[in-house]
């Protein structure tokens, strides 16, 4: 498949894409900066075994733009970016992440890096050896990032249940969680405490074994979660799971989860709408971690979990209400609103820059005729 990179950047409103290659560590990847208009672009570092560079680049672009949407809808004073690293071949990963830190530092604060798939506490520490523009784990950072993401997803599910049925009624809900990572586990605990019936899948057999001893969830076979009837399907693994084939098999009334880019294409949100499935856009509800991390970076105080829940819950409820009023899918409303806010920021920034140039570079005054020295 041919990828016309410059056309894709122009259509998507990107600022810059940087190709990464470090000879010493052997790492390759991309950094996409979609919008740093508010002063900085936030985005994690994803390490994945991509099939090829084209797939990695496309994922980078999708994720970076989604981060801008998250920031705009959550009213975070920052824009979106994403770095992807190809986990292929022999690579010295400590050296690779120290190289990432150097790249981040070289951008002079324009990009602020954080965790993502394949990049955890250890890797963030390696990045932090060469830059301060990184979300560090533990006491050095905002902490509770999985809990923050889970708080937003929980708030989105509450809003969706209320929008669809007029009540939450947890005791009669059947919820399926796809992917019991750190976010999925937090959500499962909360749903169980509320009295819901929770079913789950997990690819990592060791993690599944540990969780089976601690949580009273019902484990179902991988691949069956899509076609198992439920009130809420909660995707918390990788994206691209809702496409032409899977939507036909889907038996959930509501889809709301933490995974990024759950729709293979935006129009699949319309397909879900036509089939009577209430899809809550992922970039509306999974912004809790970046909200908490950005607040910590910008103010020194991480956003409290209850505040994250309130903000994302209100935003979700508003988008679902507007979608119902207009008779369109929620993803159309969310994309439109995010693009409107991003464009507004850019226009304000352009006006400020133009005014600054005019005020700092006044036109030279013409000399009056009496000042002219004649021969």
Q: Report which secondary-structure segment, H or E, holds 252.
A: strand 252-255
| Other Cβ atoms within 10 Å of 112 Cβ, number | 25
Contact 174, 196 (CB under 8 A): yes
Q: What's the chain's Rg over C-alpha atoms?
A: 23
Structure tokens of 286?
Answer: 């999974």
Query: Could you confirm whether 213 is annotated as catalytic?
Result: no
Give the pairing of strands 28-33 and 16-21. Answer: antiparallel
d(CA 212, CA 268): 34
Structure tokens of 98?
Answer: 């120290």
| Other Cβ atoms within 10 Å of 132 Cβ, number | 12
Longest dimension (CA), the chain: 101
The helix-helix angle for 53-73 and 5-12 (nearest 10°) equals: 10
| Other Cβ atoms within 10 Å of 16 Cβ, number | 15
Instruction: Give the full edge-to-edge strand order of the sheet including 79-86.
Output: 16-21, 28-33, 79-86, 41-48, 111-114
Give the pairing of strands 28-33 and 79-86. Answer: antiparallel
One-character DSSP codes across 304-347: PHHHHHHHHHHHHHHHHHHHHHHTS-HHHHHHHHHHHHHHHHHH
Q: Which of 65, 70, 82, 174 is catalytic?
A: 82
**Class of residue 108 by CB neighbours under 10 A (exposed 0-12, middle 13-18, buried 19+):** exposed
Closest to 149 (Cα-Cα) out of 186, 114, 192 = 186
- Name every residue whose Cβ is closer than 8 Å to that of residue 269 and which is 6 or more positions away in sequence: 263, 279, 281, 329, 330, 331, 332
Active site residues: 82
């Amino acid at each position: 498949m041919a990828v016309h990179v410059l056309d894709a950047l122009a259509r998507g409103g990107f600022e810059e894409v940087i190709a990464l290659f470090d000879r010493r560590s052997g790492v390759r990847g991309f950094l996409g900066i979609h919008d740093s208009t508010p002063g900085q672009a936030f985005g994690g570092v994803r390490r994945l075994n991509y099939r090829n560079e084209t797939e990695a680049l496309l994922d980078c672009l999708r994720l970076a733009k989604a981060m801008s949407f998250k920031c705009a809808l959550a009213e975070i004073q920052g824009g979106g970016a994403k770095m992807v690293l190809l986990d292929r071949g022999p690579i010295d990963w400590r050296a690779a992440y120290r190289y990432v830190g150097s790249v981040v530092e070289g951008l002079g604060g324009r990009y602020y890096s954080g965790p993502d798939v394949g990049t955890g506490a250890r890797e963030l520490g390696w990045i932090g050896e060469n830059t301060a523009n990184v979300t560090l784990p533990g006491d050095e950072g905002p902490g509770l990032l999985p809990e923050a993401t889970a708080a937003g997803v929980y708030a989105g599910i509450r809003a969706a249940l209320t929008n669809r049925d007029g009540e939450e009624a947890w005791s009669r809900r059947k919820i399926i969680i796809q992917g019991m990572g750190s976010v999925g586990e937090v959500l499962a605990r909360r749903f169980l405490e509320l009295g819901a019936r929770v079913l789950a899948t997990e690819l990592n057999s060791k993690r599944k074994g540990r969780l089976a001893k601690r949580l009273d969830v019902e484990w179902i076979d991988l691949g069956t979660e899509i076609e198992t009837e439920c009130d809420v399907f909660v995707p918390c693994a990788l994206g691209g799971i809702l496409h032409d084939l899977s939507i036909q098999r889907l038996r959930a009334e509501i889809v709301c989860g933490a995974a990024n880019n759950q729709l293979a294409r935006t129009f699949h949100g319309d397909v879900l709408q036509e089939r009577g499935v209430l899809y809550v856009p992922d970039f509306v509800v999974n912004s809790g971690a970046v909200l908490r991390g950005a607040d910590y970076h910008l103010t020194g105080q991480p956003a409290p979990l209850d505040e994250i829940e309130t903000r994302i819950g209100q935003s979700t409820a508003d988008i679902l209400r507007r979608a119902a009023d207009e008779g369109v899918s929620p993803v159309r409303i969310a994309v439109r609103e995010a693009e409107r806010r991003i464009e507004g920021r850019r226009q304000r920034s352009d006006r400020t820059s133009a005014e600054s140039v005019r005020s700092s570079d006044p036109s030279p005054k013409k000399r009056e005729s009496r000042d002219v020295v004649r021969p």
